[in-house]
Amino acid sequence: MCGIFACHHHPDVIAFKPKALQLAKLLPSIRHRGPDWSGNFIKNKTIIAHERLAIVGLDTGAQPLLNEDQSISLGVNGEIYNHVVLRHKLFPDYPFKTQSDCEVIIPLYQKFDIDCPNHLDGMFAFVLYDAEKDRTIAARDPIGITSLYMGRSSSTPGAVYFASEMKSLAEVCDDISVFPPGHVYDSATDKFTRYFKPTWWDEERVPTTPLDLKAIRTSLETSVRKRLMSEVPYGVLLSGGLDSSLIASIAARETRKAQAIDTATTTSTLTGVDEDGHLSGAASWPRLHSFAIGLPGAPDLIAARKVADFIGTVHHEHTFTLQEGLDALSDVIYHLETYDVTTIRASTPMYLLSRMIKAGGVKMVLSGEGSDEIFGGYLYFGAAPSAEEFHAETVKRVKNLHFADCLRANKSTCAWGLEARVPFLDKAFLELVMNIDPKEKMITKERIEKYILRKAFDTTDEPETEAYLPAEILWRQKEQFSDGVGYSWIDCLKDTAEKFVSDEDFANPKPQWGEDVPTTKEAYWYRCMFDEHFPTKTCADTVMRWIPKADWGCAADPSGRFVKSHVKSVDA
């Protein structure tokens, strides 16, 4: 991941430049997202500043990227997995200046205008300036894996600001909003256009596509293979749950395959996936490294160790103490830019683990976010009254991932200059799974949550196929990450909040909170820490809270432990 800060049509852009670079570079902003290189470009009244984390095109991919006559400048945060195919098929004669996977966005814009994001397969947020037209377009990936914010200021009417994180805009904008995923903004019209229009987007359209277990397996394997595009050593986050374990298992297989390929025979020396779907130019150690975190004796640590032994990774465990977690809370909230209880609980261990991973020389990891949303894997889905409502809830959860799990994965890792890639949110995989008849996904007495995903990778009836996971992991009940790191983590957070928030304070929420009043002392505590970092209402307006469906009999606490069907781990 990288960091972007841009402003279109600033009335005095030269005078503003020092402020813009300060917002992009200093510790209180987004330098952590891109510690490898800083760059900026000014033309007319527009500036683009970029902080780079180098993963692909290490020697030549510094940004902003420019076309030949420097009339187009581009700042990108993300990874474009199909850049090799786009270069060879659409632009064989384009004079590319770098091996960056992101440079292909420039000729795509020249050819397809604001429809250019539709041709990208990856996670991204970008700001592109066309000096000849004095026009800026900005876009965000379909699901919002990569963070992006947009702002305006009453002191500079007509100017539009963009940044990878809200904190970069807080000093200069009195109007800040989350840039909507799957959209492109065009300064020529000052409007957004939704470019991502999948067949499953309408919540009321209930799909009827029959189940194809082989297609699920093949599609997820392809998704993981794409995301191994890298010129730096990579690893996998391994909680020991179904989702991260499957990703780790596939990645271990694909890493072995990639190392066996003679890259001289591939269609390109560029890092990526070629037209035949083969991975080329992937960097890794001889064996895949996996990383897990938890309190001593945590359920996730025990399960992750079993998976690592089974799939043959070099495994790294990090145990943290309750006090270490508490000490990190304020920093976590600062980096996440949220006061959502569920997100903060799960992000704190991920934040601590990311620091350890980066210290070991890894810049990119694969993670398992998104599976619970697309398969209806949260335990409360077991109370869905019908297949239609089950499906509608999955669509809503996917649409809001950029406020929750995508935000967590992106910002917890980027806080330490680490990039997280999420194979479950691949466009093709989403198109397949979100169109499966929801009756196949429902949780019943006979079918555990995410049954069809588990069954797709169950090789019991395929003696010639190597098992992906031990049966006890493949069929392990869902354990939310904030629970799996050790049940005492959430218990400690609640107990500590009781000490910091008095009954009197809790009964008298701050007037500036309006109707967004915390319902627990833990939530009140987090909101106070958020306000210390981001005191204005415009900052708080960018936050959405993750809340399970109360009308499905869900407990007020979002932890999966409080769902009736949850089975307590013996070692928790």
Position 425 confidence tier, pLDDT thresholds 50, 70, 90: very high
Give all domains of the chain, ordered by start, each with its CATH number.
Answer: 3-194 (3.60.20.10), 213-562 (3.40.50.620)
Burial letters 65-91, b for 16+ CB under 10 A, else e: bbbeeeebbbbbbbbbbbbbbbbeeeb
> Residue type for 265, please?
T
φ, ψ at 276 (rounded to 5°): -95, 5
The DSSP code for 209 is: B
Catalytic-labelled residue, pool 2, 116, 173, 414: 2
Residues 6 or more apart whose Cβ sits within 8 Å of residue 84: 267, 268, 270, 271, 272, 273, 274, 275, 280
Q: Is the pLDDT of residue 32 over 80?
A: no
> Residue type for 223, please?
S
Position 546 confidence tier, pLDDT thresholds 50, 70, 90: confident
Token pair belonging to 445:
């007495």
End-to-end CA distance of the chain: 34
Residue 64 preceded by cis peptide, ω within 30: yes
pLDDT at 476: 87
As a whole number, mean pLDDT of residues 501-514 equals 96
Give the tens place of pLDDT for each residue, 312-342.
999 999 999 999 999 999 999 999 999 999 9
Is residue 2 part of the annotated active site? The answer reads: yes
pLDDT at 278: 53
Distance of alpha carbon 2 from alpha carbon 419, whole angstroms: 9
As a whole number, mean pLDDT of residues 141-164 equals 97
pLDDT at 475: 93
DSSP letter for each residue of 326-374: HHHHHHHHHHHT---HHHHHHHHHHHHHHHHHHHTT--EEE--TTHHHH
Distance of alpha carbon 163 from alpha carbon 225, whole angstroms: 30
As a whole number, mean pLDDT of residues 77-86 equals 94
Give the tens place of pLDDT for each residue, 212-222.
999 999 999 99
pLDDT at 318: 95
pLDDT at 273: 58
As a whole number, mean pLDDT of residues 418-432 equals 97
**Which residue, among 124, 100, 101, 126, has the nearest Cα to 48 in the 3D structure?**
126
Distance of alpha carbon 126 from alpha carbon 164, whole angstroms: 9
Give counts: helices (H), strands (E), the chain: 20, 19
The region of weakest confidence among 166-180, 358-372, 553-567 is 553-567
Residue 49, helix vs strand vs coil? strand
Asked if 50 and 64 count as a contact pair (C-beta separation under 8 A), the reply is: yes
Token pair belonging to 20:
């813009």
Token pair belonging to 499:
């000490």
Order of all β-strands in the sheet with 160-163: 37-43, 46-52, 3-8, 160-163, 149-152, 175-178
**Which residue, among 217, 149, 162, has the nearest Cα to 49 in the 3D structure?**
162
Position 37 confidence tier, pLDDT thresholds 50, 70, 90: low
pLDDT at 567: 52
Q: For the chain, give the mean pLDDT.
A: 89
Position 61 confidence tier, pLDDT thresholds 50, 70, 90: very low
Q: Is the pLDDT of residue 102 over 70?
A: yes
Q: Is the pLDDT of residue 564 over 80?
A: no
Give the tens place of pLDDT for each residue, 427-453.
999 999 999 999 999 999 999 999 999
pLDDT at 176: 98
Which is more confident, 233 or 501? 501
DSSP letter for each residue of 116-175: GGGG--EEEEEEEEETTTTEEEEEE-SS--S--EEEE-TTSTT-EEEESSTHHHHTT-SE
Q: Is the pLDDT of residue 509 over 50?
A: yes
Which is more confident, 28 or 388? 388
